[in-house]
Amino acid sequence: MEKKVIDSRVPHVLVLPYPARGHINPMLQFAKRLVSKGIKATLATTLFITNSVQSEDNSVAIESISDGYDTGGFTEAESVKAYLERFKTVGSKTLIDLIEKMDASGHPINCIVYDPFLPWALEVVKKLHLHGAAFFTQSCALLAIYYHVHKGKLNDPLAIMNVPIPGLPLLDVLDLPSFFSVPGSYPAYLEMVLNQFSNLETADWVLINTFDKLETEVVNWMEGIWPMKTIGPTLPSMFLDKLVKGENAYELNLWKPNDGTCMEWLDTRAIGSVVYVSFGSMASLGLEQMEEVAWGLKGSNSYFLWVVRDSEKEKVPSKFVEETREKGLLLNWSPQLEVLAHRAVGSFLTHCGWNSTLEGMSLGVPLVAVPQWTDQPTNAKYVEEVWGVGVRAKVNEKGIVSREEVELRIKEVMEGEKGEELKRNASKWRELAKEAVDEGGSSDKNIEEFVAAIRSKECA
């Protein structure tokens, strides 16, 4: 048997994401970057998730903690509030158990990179005298908004519209995070996003999945408040800088893509002829909205690839499936990065989750923004008005994006002058994203600095 050499001088980082796809993907990817720079990294996530995923990669070890709902995860909880409370109690305890287990194994943890949705992780860091880095999986602009509300600078969050926030454009009510524009919706999540700042000043570093040129002004402003570093976008290396060998996908498959047919189908389509449609891993559309998206897609006359999770499937009109067999493919999950990188894809109709937004831009694909909740409306505002990489579908008086609007916006992006302009801007942002993570780029330098700081703290 080969003898494993334990090199205790290699610092060991434990990465702890909130257990949702949009948080695990970027934090796991960041962990891989750390490994590529000579750090040991372990991802800790809930037992419910570790039991249901396969990891095809062993550069980052996966370990379990518990949110107190081991057999069903969040869906088992009676409410968001109950989930978050139990997660805090059981999570803190099982996180400490895991750290003790690592100690005993001869690979003690030096630093925890934690998701600020779980601020109790920083309490564990302090209690055990470790180092702690907060890792935000949302945009800097969004953090600035939440930060101002948390600070009480904006007693009435809707006042954001009148009191400009440093580095941000003026925002309309429909551009605000949904927790403010729809008051009373998800009070426990609102509390969670504001609580991210409750102990942030005690974190050793604040890492953000964005890059300097994407949010220059707000990044500059924020650097004056926290020891922060932009480290994104965290796409697997192969899609941007190609520095890290063999890294070509998000390795944790919570949902396995149906089969290979979607890539083969794309191979048969002409360049830029397909609209890729996805609302991410969480958003649930109302029945009427689902029907409008379906008929708008058909009306656009484009080829399409539409991700409809199993839990959403019933809402797709059965007539639509029959009538569009020649035009498109429905999937329950896609290899999204490969799809976006495919030459046949001409636009991305997206809910504007932060990862999807970064991925679309990083792969140079123009966007049709159809935001649903949380940070998505704010991201959509930037997509259309700040970065110029897409158009935002407008909602009607019922708050619904109509089929005519879906059709119009897809055509706008897929055809003509406007489409060309968006494509040019998207290509520009792709180059800037690549530059940021490439050797010597702003994010790469920040990651190097972070790694150097962890090493020096360990030697001190």
User: What is the rounded distance in angstroms from the CA atom of residue 404 to the CA atom of residue 396?
Assistant: 11
Quote the least distance from Cβ 22 to ligand 7WV, whole Å. Answer: 5
115 binds ligand 7WV (CB under 6 A): no
Quote the least distance from Cβ 256 to ligand UDP, whole Å. Answer: 10
Nearer to ligand 7WV by Cβ, of 120 and 304: the residue is 120
- For residues 13-32, which are near ligand UDP according to CB under 6 A? 20-22, 25
Please choose which of ligand UDP, ligand 7WV, none residue 359 contacts, taking the beta carbon within 5 to 8 angstroms, the exact cut-off set by kind: ligand UDP
Please choose which of ligand UDP, ligand 7WV, none residue 355 contacts, taking the beta carbon within 5 to 8 angstroms, the exact cut-off set by kind: ligand UDP
Q: Interhelix angle for 216-223 vs 140-150, to 10°?
A: 50
Pairing of β 367-369 and β 111-114: unpaired
Own/partner contacts of 72-81, CB < 8 Å, gap of 24 or more, are 72/48, 73/19, 73/46, 73/48, 73/49, 74/19, 79/188, 80/186, 80/188, 80/189, 81/187, 81/188
The residue within the footprint of ligand UDP, chosen from 243, 282, 395, 432 (CB under 6 A), is 282
132 binds ligand UDP (CB under 6 A): no
20 binds ligand 7WV (CB under 6 A): yes
Nearer to ligand UDP by Cβ, of 45 and 278: the residue is 278
The residue within the footprint of ligand 7WV, chosen from 22, 132, 232, 257 (CB under 6 A), is 22
- Tokens in use for 241? 């800088």
The residue within the footprint of ligand UDP, chosen from 14, 16, 231, 307 (CB under 6 A), is 307
Nearer to ligand 7WV by Cβ, of 204 and 375: the residue is 375
Report the side by side order of strands in the sheet with 131-136: 61-65, 40-46, 12-16, 111-114, 131-136, 205-208, 228-230
26 binds ligand 7WV (CB under 6 A): no
136 binds ligand 7WV (CB under 6 A): no
User: What is the rounded distance in angstroms from the CA atom of residue 240 to the CA atom of residue 207?
Assistant: 20
- Tokens in use for 168? 């941000």
237 binds ligand UDP (CB under 6 A): no
Nearer to ligand 7WV by Cβ, of 11 and 371: the residue is 371
234 binds ligand UDP (CB under 6 A): no
Which range of residues in 86-94, 147-155, 264-272, 330-338 is near ligand UDP by CB under 6 A? Answer: 330-338
Bridge partner residues of 133 (DSSP): 113, 205
Please choose which of ligand 7WV, ligand UDP, none residue 375 contacts, taking the beta carbon within 5 to 8 angstroms, the exact cut-off set by kind: ligand 7WV
Q: Which residue has the tokens 């429905």?
A: 330
Number of residues written out for the chain: 460
Q: Are 44 and 98 in contact (CB under 8 A)?
A: yes
Which range of residues in 293-301, 353-361, 394-402, 423-431 is near ligand UDP by CB under 6 A? Answer: 353-361
Cα Rg of the chain, angstroms: 22
Quote the least distance from Cβ 119 to ligand 7WV, whole Å. Answer: 14
Please choose which of ligand UDP, ligand 7WV, none residue 189 contacts, taking the beta carbon within 5 to 8 angstroms, the exact cut-off set by kind: ligand 7WV
Q: Mark 145-180 as b/e (b = at least 16 C-beta within 10 Å).
A: bbbbbbeeebeebeebbeeebebbeebeebbbbbbb
Q: For the chain, report the end-to-end CA distance as a whole number of angstroms.
A: 35
- For residues 346-385, which are near ligand 7WV according to CB under 6 A? 374-375
The residue within the footprint of ligand UDP, chosen from 280, 346, 364, 441 (CB under 6 A), is 280
User: What is the rounded distance in angstroms from the CA atom of residue 74 to the CA atom of residue 52?
Assistant: 14
Nearer to ligand UDP by Cβ, of 160 and 235: the residue is 235
Q: CB-based burial of residue 105 (10 Å sphere; 0-12 exposed, 13-18 middle, 19+ buried)?
A: exposed
Quote the least distance from Cβ 302 to ligand UDP, whole Å. Answer: 18
- For residues 187-206, which are near ligand 7WV according to CB under 6 A? 189, 193
Closest CA to 331 of 368, 286, 276: 276
Q: Which residues bind ligand UDP (CB under 6 A)?
A: 20-22, 25, 278, 280-283, 307, 333-334, 336-337, 353-356, 359
Q: Which residues bind ligand 7WV (CB under 6 A)?
A: 20, 22, 189, 193, 374-375
